[in-house]
């Protein structure tokens, strides 16, 4: 049972390069999320998708774009990477937003921007 | 707005010691409260939750009680093990459709034998 799968797990970029983090879930969840985790800052929401066809900004959306490709997949794109985007990125999914249900997380993608 | 505040870490304990990690929240309405745990090199996973005032969530020997009067959801365990070493996150859901979970900054727990 795969759950939430993120790729790649590690990536090193140079400033100004672009890349896309991929996320797929196999639990038929409606809602998907992208968080970043930084030391001393905890987990901060970048973007989320409450349902297929919708996306909303979270706490720290600047410098990122997202695409909810279909119900299973939710990608995060960095158009022009900056050193401040060095972080560990987590994708998560849940049955729906705003409820009492569990969020299921991927294993994370560690991104370094030089 | 809604927010979650956790005690600063790291918390360092010896095996079999009692653990408390404090969490307080600010929210409108009737939020649900959660504790998530992140073991080294892994993503977060749900540890326990409580969906209304005075509910107690429990799992793996951990407990937390939803206290509306003190807006708190402190995590406790009577006797920690080395395997409990991890980062613990308190989180809040405000129950409104279209909104996402709000996390605290996390508390690192290190247990030595």
Q: Give B5-52 pLDDT, tens digit per residue.
A: 998 889 999 999 999 999 999 988 789 999 999 999 899 999 999 999
Among B54-58, B74-78, B96-100, B109-113, where is mean pLDDT lowest? B96-100
Q: Which residue reads 């569990």 in tokens?
A: A102
Residue A89 touches partner B, C-beta closer than 8 Å: no
Residue A43 touches partner B, C-beta closer than 8 Å: yes
Report the pLDDT averaged over residues B86-103: 86
Report the pLDDT averaged over residues A7-34: 96
Which residues, 6+ apart, have CB-to-CB distance to A36 below 8 Å? Answer: A43, A44, A46, A60, A87, A88, A89, A90
| pLDDT score of B84 | 97
Report the pLDDT averaged over residues B83-94: 94
Q: Which residue of A has its CA nearest to B94?
A: A98
Tens digit of pLDDT for each residue in B40-58? 989 999 999 999 999 999 9
The shortest C-alpha distance from A40 to chain B (Å) reads: 7
| pLDDT score of A1 | 63
- Contact (CB<8Å) A48/B100: yes
- Contact (CB<8Å) B45/A99: no
């Amino acid at each position: 049972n795969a759950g939430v799968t993120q790729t790649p797990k590690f990536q090193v970029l140079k400033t100004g390069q672009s890349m896309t983090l991929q996320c797929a879930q196999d639990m038929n969840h409606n809602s998907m999320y992208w968080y970043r985790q930084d030391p001393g800052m905890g987990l901060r929401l970048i973007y989320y998708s409450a349902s297929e066809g919708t996306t909303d900004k979270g706490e720290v959306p600047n410098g990122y774009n997202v695409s909810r490709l279909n119900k299973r997949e939710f990608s995060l794109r960095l158009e022009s990477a900056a050193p401040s985007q060095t972080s560990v990125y987590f994708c998560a999914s849940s049955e729906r937003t705003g409820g009492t249900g569990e969020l299921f997380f991927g294993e994370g993608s560690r991104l370094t921007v030089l | 707005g809604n927010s979650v505040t956790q005690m600063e870490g790291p918390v360092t304990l010896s095996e079999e010691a009692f653990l408390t990690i404090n969490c307080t929240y600010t929210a409108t309405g009737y939020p649900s409260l959660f504790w998530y745990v992140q073991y080294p090199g892994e993503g977060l996973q749900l540890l326990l939750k409580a969906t209304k005032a005075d509910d107690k969530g429990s799992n793996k020997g951990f407990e937390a009680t939803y206290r509306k009067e003190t807006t708190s959801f402190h995590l406790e365990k009577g006797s920690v093990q080395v395997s409990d070493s991890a980062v613990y996150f308190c989180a809040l859901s405000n129950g409104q459709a279209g909104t996402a979970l709000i996390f605290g900054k996390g508390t690192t727990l290190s247990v030595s034998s």
